[in-house]
Amino acid sequence: MSIFTVITILTVLSAAFAFINTKFLKLPFTIGLMIIAICFTLVITIAGNFNPFILEEANLIIDSIDFETALLDIMLSFLLFAGALHTKIDGLKKQRMPIALFATMGVLISTFIVGTLMYYIVQALGHQIDYIYCLLFGALISPTDPIAVLGILKDANAPKKLETKIVGESLFNDGVGVVIFLVIFKIAQQGVGAIEASEVGLLFFEEVVGGIALGLLAGWLVFQLMRVIDHYETEVMITLALVMGLSSLAHLIHVSGPLAVVVAGIFIGNKSPKIAWSETTQNYVDKFWELLDVLLNAILFVLIGLELLIITINGEYITFGLIAIPVTLLARYLALAGPVALFKKKLDFIPKTNLIMTWGGIRGGISIALALSLEPNMERELFLTVTYIIVVFSIIGQGLTLGPLVRRVLKKG
């Protein structure tokens, strides 16, 4: 099946599901699309029992899509840039220290808490597993998904200070999470002796610091280009070229593409409206990236729903998935507790910040993409199913109740 055919099918499905949600369900956009996609997948599965051809064609479409590559190498950069472009730097500056700790130490601590608890739980339930594979699962499930978070927070009406923390953490912690995942993945492949502490530090420095530096440099260069022209069509094209070129260059020189794109987006989104863009240009740039964000979000969450077709469904895996939900929530709560306690009074956190940030830590497509990258001997089928269950619960369960939780806490506070 050609890539054009696959993209066409996904776009048609996304448009149809968006219409159904907008006209009838009226749920938050990303949540509604994923629910409809899951229902659609279940209908296909049931129909496939009566007519195997339907299920075979559906599986053919899913098999034609490399979800990991489609998300991590193609869609992620566009979605992150769209989110970063509208993130105000003033709020990030005030909250920079807690955000930095949430996105680094928070992810690392959560990785080890999730990995350790899941190791003992899975062993206690009679499934033999290596500890290093559980740590891999902890690394892939600990980062919150900026794409899911940004989409859901729009409908949650969270206070600006709280929204800045959640969005800021989500924009930066996926880059850190991927580095942690890659380190543990290498250890799982080659053994503990295959990588030294100095290598870990160097990899972290190259990926994270290199990504941030590249994003600042690219953002500054593009900003200088846009300063000397006033032509909205060209400037929209320049922002598009920036994202594509930056992602490719980051991959080539082995630095974090997501972090580079986020930093460049924040730089341009905060500097250009004041200096480089006319009002017309700003309007067109904003509308272009908003529409692209909506389209890619729609396709992504439809894809997540359709991925149900490749998930291994059995009682044991479902049990582990249901157990993993409170485990990951507990790990996130404990990982955030230190930074929240440290900065609570100094930065005037709202009441129950840790609780709201724990519940607002939505997992999404990034976790599924990383789970798909596991090798078969790393308990790939088990952790893919567990990850999918957590992601579905996170997006639907936490996403639909985040707004009411925020309003309830603020009312009591």
Domain of residue 168, CATH code = 1.20.1530.20
- 169-218: per-residue pLDDT in tens? 988 988 888 889 988 998 898 877 667 777 778 888 888 899 999 999 99
E strand or H helix that includes residue 315: helix 315-343
pTM: 0.94
Q: What is the distance between the alpha carbons of residues 158 and 150, in angstroms, rounded to a whole number?
A: 12
The DSSP code for 350 is P
- Residue span of the structural domain in which 8 resides: 3-63
In a shared domain, residues 142 and 200: yes
Least confident interval from 144-148, 179-183, 400-404: 144-148
Residues 30 and 139 in one domain: no
51, two tokens? 């007519």
Residue type for position 64: S
The average pLDDT across 144-167 equals 78
User: Are 148 and 171 in contact, with CB atoms under 8 Å apart?
Assistant: no
The tally of domains found in the chain comes to 2
Helix (H, G, I), strand (E, B) or coil at 310: helix
The C-alpha atoms of residue 203 and residue 192 are separated, in whole angstroms, by 16
Q: How far apart are the first and last CA of the chain?
A: 56
Which residue is associated with the tokens 């692209």? Answer: 292
Residues 207 and 318 in one domain: yes
Distance between CA 294 and CA 3 in Å, rounded? 21
At 130, is the pLDDT very low, low, confident or very high (cuts 50, 70, 90)? very high
Residue 384, H or E segment: helix 380-392
Could you give the 3-state DSSP secondary structure of residue 212? helix
Question: In degrees, to the nearest 5, what angle opens at C-alpha 385 toward C-alphas 321 and 59?
Answer: 150
**pLDDT score, position 377:** 94
92 and 32 inside one domain = no
Q: Is the CB of residue 228 less than 8 Å from the CB of residue 269? A: no
Residues 9 and 112 grouped into a single domain: no
CB atoms within 10 A of CB 315: 7
- Residues 52 and 100 both lie in one domain: no
* Least confident piece of the model among 48-52, 302-306, 345-349, 372-376: 345-349
Q: Decide if pLDDT at 139 tops 90.
A: yes
Q: How far is CA 382 from the centre of its chain?
A: 21
> Is 120 found in the same domain as 21?
no
Which candidate, 213, 199, 195, 194, places its Cα nearest to that of 255? 213
Q: Which range among 29-33, 111-115, 318-322 shows the weakest confidence by mean pLDDT? A: 29-33
Kindly report, residue by residue over 81-105, the tens digit of the pLDDT. Answer: 998 998 888 888 888 999 999 999 9
Tokens of 259: 């972090």
Residue 155 — very low, low, confident or very high, per pLDDT cuts 50/70/90?
low
